[in-house]
């Protein structure tokens, strides 16, 4: 691939149509697209397996797995921040994915020793749930450091489509191969994919410098240094910024809604399918449907919607959609309605809410991108999972289920919509090159 793709080439014309990509941006966008493809493809090979491991440990104990996930996430955040304070970013970023590949080889050996061990299943569920937020957080931190606010409005939808293609390929591969090679052999394929992502990070590190020199709107930061050494800087940066706290609230509220639907999905699928392989296949097929629906919107619709309606309205769309879906679910509970609501939620999140909220981080400084963002994407995200899981368990103890839980989700979604409008206004009202710090 040359340093600059010809404007007349088919690839340049495709990306120009889909995301208004400038010729000097094409190589960086293509590499980012492929990077996200392999990243989510490798993870989504594991996601159905993780969900199946949750059923081995016991659906009635999911809140305990969520607690373990939060503890692991809280412990990992300062370790990552400390590493960012000691290791150059150009070295740290690829090694994040290399270490994931090594950990999967360890789990392969553990499952080979005892495929049905309940505690290995729990450890796998927790570890995959911990690192899946880290890897996507690091990816989007890198993207916010690579592309500017104006570039992100044009390019993020297109780049996100690469992830959705990977998220289709991963579970499709799982659904096709799991009954042939077995659930645990898929760990080796996923590990290989994470090695590829590490290589792609190295290529993009070189592209960042070219964008910085050639692009008038590009981010001016470099990756040839570490950040300030403070393992808890992400927490303090978050606490001092109302803008970041608004983003954190957006993620927390959206996760409460996600937990409501996830628990019901787990319950119905665990009752409908007997074997672990069948459950893995069912979860994989849901993932395929979600990501197939997401791709077309991301490739051609996300950038158009942001340009046409703005970031604020795009952020608000998802919670408004879930208010309607949860009202219907309360009136017509059942397996297919739960799956429909889950598919709707995840599709709109992938195609609209996620790229829109990632644009918010293009206005913060580099340390905030890699540290505070990581805390929001991991600790805050998992704290919302944890509290949502235990709240759902508490409601179940009092006999509140089905329609009652769905109506509680309507209330959460209403607060989520209000907060989305508030932070969207803050983003759209920001003018100039200064970074938001409060």
Question: Does pTM surpass 0.85?
Answer: no
Q: Which residues contact 434 (CB under 8 A, 6 or more apart)?
A: none
φ/ψ of residue 220, rounded to 5: -100, 5
Portion of the chain with pLDDT greater than 70, in percent? 91
Domain that holds residue 42: 10-429
Cα–Cα distance measured from residue 412 to residue 319, given in angstroms and rounded to the nearest whole number? 9
pLDDT at 216: 62
Start-to-end CA span in the chain (Å)? 41
Q: Is the pLDDT reported for residue 431 higher than 80?
A: no
Q: Residues 377-403: pLDDT tens digits?
A: 999 988 888 888 788 777 777 776 677
- 38 — pLDDT class (breaks 50, 70, 90): very high
Question: Would 218 be classed as within a structural domain?
Answer: yes
φ/ψ of residue 319, rounded to 5: -65, -35
Q: Is 225 left (phi over 0), alpha (psi -120 to 50) or beta?
A: beta
Cα–Cα distance measured from residue 371 to residue 373, given in angstroms and rounded to the nearest whole number? 5
From the list 207, 228, 194, 184, the residue with the least C-alpha distance to 365 is: 228
Q: Residues 220-250: pLDDT tens digits?
A: 788 888 887 788 888 999 999 999 999 999 9
From the list 310, 246, 249, 219, the residue with the least C-alpha distance to 438 is: 246
Question: Would 319 be classed as within a structural domain?
Answer: yes
Q: Is the pLDDT reported for residue 2 higher than 50?
A: no
Question: Would 437 be classed as within a structural domain?
Answer: no
- Lookup result for tokens 């805050």: 380
pLDDT at 1: 42
Q: Residues 63-78: pLDDT tens digits?
A: 788 888 889 988 998 9
Q: C-alpha distances in angstroms, 224 versus 37, 84, 89, 227? A: 26, 12, 6, 10
Question: Would 321 be classed as within a structural domain?
Answer: yes
- Range from 61-70, 160-169, 175-184, 412-421 that averages highest in pLDDT: 412-421
Query: What is the mean predicted confidence (pLDDT) over 149-157?
Result: 85
**Lowest-confidence range among 16-25, 216-225, 362-371?**
16-25
- 419 — pLDDT class (breaks 50, 70, 90): very high
The answer to whether 278 and 58 are in contact (CB under 8 A) is no
Q: What is the mean pLDDT of the chain?
A: 85
In the numeric block, which tokens belong to residue 238? 């978050």
**Lowest-confidence range among 63-67, 246-250, 254-258, 360-364?**
63-67
Question: Would 438 be classed as within a structural domain?
Answer: no
- 47 — pLDDT class (breaks 50, 70, 90): confident
pLDDT at 350: 87
Question: Would 4 be classed as within a structural domain?
Answer: no
pLDDT at 12: 57
Q: Is the pLDDT reported for residue 215 higher than 80?
A: no
How many domains does the chain fold into? Answer: 1
- For the four alpha carbons of 227, 233, 238 and 241, in that order, the dihedral sign comes to negative
Cα–Cα distance measured from residue 373 to residue 379, given in angstroms and rounded to the nearest whole number? 10
Q: Residues 268-325: pLDDT tens digits?
A: 777 777 677 777 777 777 877 887 888 878 877 787 788 888 899 999 999 999 999 9
Question: Would 5 be classed as within a structural domain?
Answer: no
Q: Where is pLDDT greater, at 432 or 184? A: 184
CATH number of domain containing 227: 1.20.1250.20
Question: Would 2 be classed as within a structural domain?
Answer: no
pLDDT at 425: 93
From the list 385, 36, 406, the residue with the least C-alpha distance to 197 is: 36
> Measured in whole angstroms, how far is the alpha carbon of residue 304 from the centre of its chain?
22
Cα radius of gyration (the chain): 21
Portion of the chain with pLDDT greater than 90, in percent? 37
Cα–Cα distance measured from residue 85 to residue 231, given in angstroms and rounded to the nearest whole number? 8
pLDDT at 58: 65
């Amino acid at each position: 691939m040359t340093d600059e793709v010809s404007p007349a080439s088919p690839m340049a014309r495709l990306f120009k149509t889909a995301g208004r990509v400038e010729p000097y941006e094409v190589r960086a966008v293509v590499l980012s697209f492929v990077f996200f493809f392999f990243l989510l493809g490798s993870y989504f090979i594991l996601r159905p397996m993780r969900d199946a491991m949750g059923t081995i440990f016991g659906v009635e104990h999911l809140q305990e797995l969520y607690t373990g996930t939060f503890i692991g996430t809280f412990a990992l955040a300062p370790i990552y921040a400390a590493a960012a304070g000691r290791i150059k970013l150009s070295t740290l970023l690829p090694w994040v994915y290399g270490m994931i590949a090594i950990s999967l080889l360890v789990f392969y050996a553990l499952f080979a020793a005892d495929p049905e061990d309940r505690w290995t299943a729990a450890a796998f569920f927790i570890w995959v749930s911990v690192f899946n937020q880290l890897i996507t957080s690091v990816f989007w931190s890198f993207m916010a450091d690579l592309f500017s606010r104006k570039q992100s409005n044009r390019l993020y939808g297109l780049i996100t489509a690469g992830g959705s293609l990977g998220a289709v390929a991963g579970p499709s591969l799982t659904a096709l191969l799991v009954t042939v090679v077995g659930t645990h052999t898929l760990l080796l394929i996923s590990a290989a994919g994470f090695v590829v992502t590490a290589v792609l990070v190295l290529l993009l590190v070189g592209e960042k410098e070219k964008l910085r020199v050639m692009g008038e709107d590009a981010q001016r930061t470099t990756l040839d240094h570490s950040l300030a050494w403070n393992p808890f800087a992400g927490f303090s940066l978050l606490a001092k910024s109302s803008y970041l706290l608004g983003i954190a609230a957006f993620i927390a509220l959206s996760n409460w809604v996600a937990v409501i639907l996830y628990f019901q999905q787990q319950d119905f699928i665990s009752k409908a399918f007997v074997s672990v392989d069948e459950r893995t296949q069912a979860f994989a097929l849901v993932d395929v449907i979600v990501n197939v629906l997401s791709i077309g919107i991301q490739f051609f619709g996300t950038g158009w919607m942001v340009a046409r309606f703005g970031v604020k309205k795009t952020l608000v769309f998802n919670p408004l959609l879930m208010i309607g879906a949860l009202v219907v679910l309360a009136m017509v509970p059942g397996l297919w309605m739960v799956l429909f609501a889950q598919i709707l939620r995840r599709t709109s999140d992938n195609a609209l809410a996620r790229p829109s909220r990632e644009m918010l981080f293009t206005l913060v400084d580099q340390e905030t991108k890699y540290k505070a963002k990581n805390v929001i994407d991991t600790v805050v995200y998992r704290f919302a999972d944890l509290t949502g899981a235990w709240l759902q368990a508490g409601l179940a103890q009092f006999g509140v289920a089905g329609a009652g839980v769905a109506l509680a989700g309507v209330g959460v979604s209403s607060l989520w919509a209000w907060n989305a409008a508030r932070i969207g206004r803050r983003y759209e009202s920001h003018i100039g090159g200064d970074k938001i710090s409060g």
